[in-house]
Chains A and B, each alone.
Chain A
Amino acid sequence: MASIDIDNVRKNYGAVPVLHGVDLTIKDGEFIVLVGPSGCGKSTLLRTVAGLEEVSSGEIRIGGARVNERHPKDRDIAMVFQSYALYPHMNVAENMSYSLRLRRAAKERIASAVSNAAGKLGLEPLLERRPKALSGGQRQRVAMGRAIVRQPKAFLFDEPLSNLDARLREQMRAEIKTLHRDLGATSIYVTHDQIEAMTLADRVVAMHGGIVQQVGSPLELYDRPANLFVASFIGSPAMNLLKGTYDASGAEAGIVLPDGTRIALSGPYALQSGTEVTLGIRPEHVVLSPIDGLPARVSLVEPTGFGIILHLSVHDLPLIAFTLDRTRLQSGPTTAIAFPPEHLHLFDGAGNRVVRAN
């Protein structure tokens, strides 16, 4: 096991920059999830750590030692690919033992490592099979098994679950978490799925356009998104974002929406009156039918089974609310809503979070 330091790493493909100076320190045994929309450079970052891509500038250290010039084989890391990349001409046992055979490990050691990993992943009955005789879920397990047999310094996962169906994905997600708890291995896990990011990570790294947007625990990102990108990317249904103007006049600071509606904030923010801002509120924080609220029209009711998603419009501004209250299924064409000030997020013109002035 080892820590991983990523120090101002840049990567260009020709003239096109893909990573714009990424800094990240991963502690020994930590489970880091890189999350972001497709094309934001997650795989590229992971591949530079693996040594499959060279960095254009910056430094990568594994266990404190600079590895920029090392080949993948000399970095002692394991990787699980989205496509699994199982060797088609080798059976499951041979796939799992390939790395140990390359290192000329003793026969007994190989056998025990393989049976150990197979036991952990429930692969014992499949050891003689070729990859093409396995289901998607089984192939995924073999790919995991291939990574864990040799106890590397770190595990790298590149969207390992995206080829599985939803049910299997949930199951494997839990298994990966259990596996990490048992092995305690330093892991970097790439995904575009924010649920995977939230459930698996010790810390989440949200990326966009080759730039790290925010690093923090899953709940930090959820409760205090650093900017508009994180606010809208994390959470489903996504956070409501309304454009408005900051207004510090009057007893309480507030936001004036384009139609003139004023929404009260708790306490003043470090902003000039009249600044253009974006107001954010998560759907589950929108209060329905308060004593005195804004009138809203109900345009669509979506039951998810777990709760109900209401599509509303407030003076023609679309808004989404989420509630666990099933009686809302029968709600009429209009209702009223309120925005509790403690749940409001404020972002400035550049999209960065604005904090309350004290």
Chain B
Amino acid sequence: MRVSFLGTVFHRLAILAYLLFALFPLFWLVKVSVTPNDLLYSEGIRLWPSRTSFEHFRFVLENSAFPLFFRNSLIVATSTAVIVTVLASLAGYAFSRFAFRGRAWLVALMLLTQMFPLVMLVAPIFKMLTPLGLTNSLTGLVIVYTAFNVPFATFLMQSFFDGIPKELEEAAKIDGATQFMAFRQIILPLTLPGIAATLGFVFTAAWSELLFALMLISGNAAATFPVGLLSFVSKFSVDFGQMMAAGVLALIPACLFFLLIQRYLVQGLTAGAVKG
């Protein structure tokens, strides 16, 4: 198809506009985090402060509980991402490849879990976790996040498995592989982009979850960073500089994570599997 010059220009401009729109809040976050307190209000609407400093970062790292929140979040998000992805891979594979009794019911049930606003579930979950000693604990959070993320992650993984031709497994079985070997040696390597996407999706979801973290955790010991961010809001004022600095720090793991997996996200490994 021939794309006209004007079309290309318009296309690029549209992307640029979108990027500006999407990235502006991030830019503002960074900007405020490096603005010294005395300039915060006097130069509030300038695009870049006349003087920058890292004093907020230093304060957050040295004088607040933020490193602890950060560690807690890292544990919770990583564990959730790994557990969910393993479960979702296995379940998604089964949904994609096997015909079994009750399959339609299971799918319907999983869809059902996605239909309720989470707020409705806060009270019952709190009730259930308290006697188990799972409130105020990272394990409790991991369990709750896993439960909420598995259905969607399973659908996601299933769609990736659906995209891999059945013949590849059949060829492997005829070549002498068991069902599990075919899964591990042929299908899994081809699903890496899907696994990366699922990991990333669940990680960010768990990383930024606020509602349950707020409800199930009290006190600093098991607080995750979204809860921690709120501690910069005191009764009388909001310490924007420190809050933004903490926010910038919180972005780092997510960025690193996506840098790590982006190779798999963009790679179309299945190209050339069957007739091209």
> Which residues of A approach B to under 8 Å, CB–CB?
50-52, 71-73, 77-79, 81, 83-89, 98-99, 102-103, 130-134, 136, 139, 146, 163
Contact = CB atoms under 8 A, between A and B. Distances in A.
Given A81-B171, A85-B167, A89-B190, 5 more contacts: A85-B170, A86-B272, A87-B168, A99-B176, A146-B171
Contacts of B113: none
A85 B168 contact: yes
Q: Which of B176, B181, B271 is the most central at the interface, judged by chain A CB atoms within 10 Å of its CB?
A: B176
Interface string B185-204: 01001100000000000000
A52 B176 CA distance: 13
A73 B273 contact: no
B123 interface: no
A102 B176 contact: yes
B263 to A, nearest CB: 14
Interface string B150-188: 000000000000000101101111111110010000100
Nearest to B189: A89
Given A52-B170, A79-B171, A81-B167, A88 B176 contact: no
B174 A88 contact: no
B218 interface: no
A133 B174 contact: no
A106 to B, nearest CB: 16
A75 B216 CA distance: 56
Given A88-B190, A89-B189, A102-B181, A83 B275 contact: yes
Interface of B: 165, 167-168, 170-178, 181, 186, 189-190, 269-276
Contacts, number: 82
A79 B172 CA distance: 10
22 contacts: A51-B173, A51-B174, A52-B173, A71-B173, A73-B176, A73-B177, A78-B174, A83-B165, A83-B167, A85-B167, A85-B168, A85-B170, A85-B171, A86-B274, A88-B273, A102-B177, A103-B176, A132-B272, A134-B272, A136-B275, A139-B272, A139-B276
Contacts of B276: 132, 136, 139
B174 to A, nearest CB: 5
A133 B272 contact: yes
A52 B181 CA distance: 16
Contacts of B269: 88-89
B165 A132 contact: no
A88 B175 contact: no
A98 B172 contact: yes
Contact of B275 (A84, A87, A146): A84
A163 B272 contact: no
Contacts of B270: 88
